Copies of this chain bind each other. A is one copy, B any other.
Amino acid sequence: MNLFERAMVQLERLEVDGWLIPCSEGSDVHSKFMLDLEVHIRHYIYVDRGGKHKVFTCTMEKPMVEKKLSAMGVDAQVEAYSGYDDIISMLKPLITKPKIALNFGENVLTREGTGFAEYLPVGEFRALQKIAPNTQFVSAAPIIYDLRTIKTPEDIQDLRETVKINLEILEDLPNWVKVGMTENEVKRELEIKYLRNGGIGFPAIVANNANAADPHHNGSDKKIEPGVLLIDSGMKPRRMCSDITWTYWVGGEPSEAFLNAYQALQYAKDKSYEVVKAGLPMNLPAIKCREALAEKGYDHEKLYIHSLGHSLGFNVHDVGGGMRAKMPDTILQQENMIITNEPGLYWVNEWGVRLEDDLVIKKDGMENLSYTPKDPLVI
């Protein structure tokens, strides 16, 4: 089944007439997700419950969209508009129906919220309400959740291949990173390697010593000195994004404090892996990880200030939520979700260490697509 067919199954289940995705200049990632294409100018993708799919584009982007849909085997009619009046009259019959799904979230400032579906901006929503005043617009969250949370065998194979190349590049890193290069120089050279091998997943985090205590440090022109070098990066040559963190040691023998923290994280990761399995609570790996760090004498409440991981896929932070110790027991791990496992320990203004893998949740456990070196690599 292609993505349009999979969405139709959800529309049928939810008894919704269609799913409309307005997009302009990348405002909704689901345009690229559904069309596998960068369409820039304002366009509308309509997935119809009955299969009469439509895409409205500007004149100059129409041929490109038609070609792509045809190559993907999607039977959708592409129509060009030439102005706002056109758009309105083309949308009117499409969305003048009992129920139309749009990409907005509900209760977004609560734990049960569907913030992951939040793409439709307020002004566009008001315009659609004006075009079809009697339509009930419902959240497309269940459709998005279904299409993106559980990965297909093709998605998993895509990421498996990406991670393999990503790991080779990380293994090679000690061969070219030198003391005295800046964080930004390392970031740039690493991203060039990713680009050369297919594509950058997200801006790489390259953080030396005190900067490594900032989990999301944006690179700087700080020159790399002996000590800790944390690198959190990923590739996206096709549809799936990798996300791997390795922490290296720069210059001679690693300090005892670093080695101890590194080994404690490895131990805690192994403990958490024992409870990665479809059907177990989503919070359990995070709880086990924190217990193991406490056992090794680390004040994790103070030193480990983020969640264990997150769903990974088309976006680096993908639909499917985080892996947090404090989430309700009722949220369960699901087969063929891909998640990161990335505990860290951070001493503010001093240094930090984080080790991140990409895991597939399986019926009987997990597949680790990546690995982190047993002993830290030395640069």
Assess A105 versus B121: contact at CB under 8 Å? Given A24-B115, A218-B38, A317-B40.
yes
Distance in angstroms between the alpha carbons of A59 and B216 in the assembled complex? 11
Distance in angstroms between the alpha carbons of A123 and B117 in the assembled complex? 9
Asked whether B191 lies within 8 Å of A195 as measured between CB atoms, the reply is: yes
Distance in angstroms between the alpha carbons of A59 and B344 in the assembled complex? 14
Interface residues in A8-32 (C-beta closer than 8 Å to B): 24-25, 27
**A104 at interface (Cβ–Cβ under 8 A)?**
yes
Distance in angstroms between the alpha carbons of A102 and B215 in the assembled complex? 29
* Residue among B109, B118, B192, B315 making CB contact with A195, cutoff 8 Å: B192
Distance in angstroms between the alpha carbons of A56 and B313 in the assembled complex? 28
**A127 at interface (Cβ–Cβ under 8 A)?**
yes
Chain A, residues 21-65, CB within 8 Å of chain B (1/0): the string is 000110100000000011111100000000000000011110110
**A305 at interface (Cβ–Cβ under 8 A)?**
yes
* Residue among B38, B39, B104 making CB contact with A122, cutoff 8 Å: B104
Minimum CB distance partner of A108 in chain B: B123
Distance in angstroms between the alpha carbons of A191 and B197 in the assembled complex? 12
**A114 at interface (Cβ–Cβ under 8 A)?**
yes
Contacting residues, chain B, for A255 (C-beta < 8 A)? none
Minimum CB distance partner of A37 in chain B: B218
Distance in angstroms between the alpha carbons of A124 and B119 in the assembled complex? 10
Asked whether A195 lies within 8 Å of B188 as measured between CB atoms, the reply is: yes
Contacting residues, chain B, for A111 (C-beta < 8 A)? 84
* Residue among B110, B120, B192, B317 making CB contact with A121, cutoff 8 Å: B120
Interface residues in A121-146 (C-beta closer than 8 Å to B): 121-127, 131, 139
Distance in angstroms between the alpha carbons of A64 and B216 in the assembled complex? 8
Contacting residues, chain B, for A61 (C-beta < 8 A)? 214-216
Distance in angstroms between the alpha carbons of A168 and B322 in the assembled complex? 45
Asked whether B25 lies within 8 Å of A63 as measured between CB atoms, the reply is: no
Distance in angstroms between the alpha carbons of A262 and B356 in the assembled complex? 52
Asked whether A125 lies within 8 Å of B122 as measured between CB atoms, the reply is: yes
Asked whether B123 lies within 8 Å of A104 as measured between CB atoms, the reply is: yes
Chain A, residues 71-95, CB within 8 Å of chain B (1/0): the string is 0000000000000100110000000
Asked whether B106 lies within 8 Å of A123 as measured between CB atoms, the reply is: yes
**A251 at interface (Cβ–Cβ under 8 A)?**
no
**A174 at interface (Cβ–Cβ under 8 A)?**
no
**A374 at interface (Cβ–Cβ under 8 A)?**
no
* Residue among B64, B107, B214, B218 making CB contact with A218, cutoff 8 Å: B64
Asked whether B122 lies within 8 Å of A118 as measured between CB atoms, the reply is: yes
Contacting residues, chain B, for A64 (C-beta < 8 A)? 214, 216-218
Distance in angstroms between the alpha carbons of A18 and B347 in the assembled complex? 36
Most B C-beta atoms less than 10 A away, residue of A120, A123, A203, A215? A123
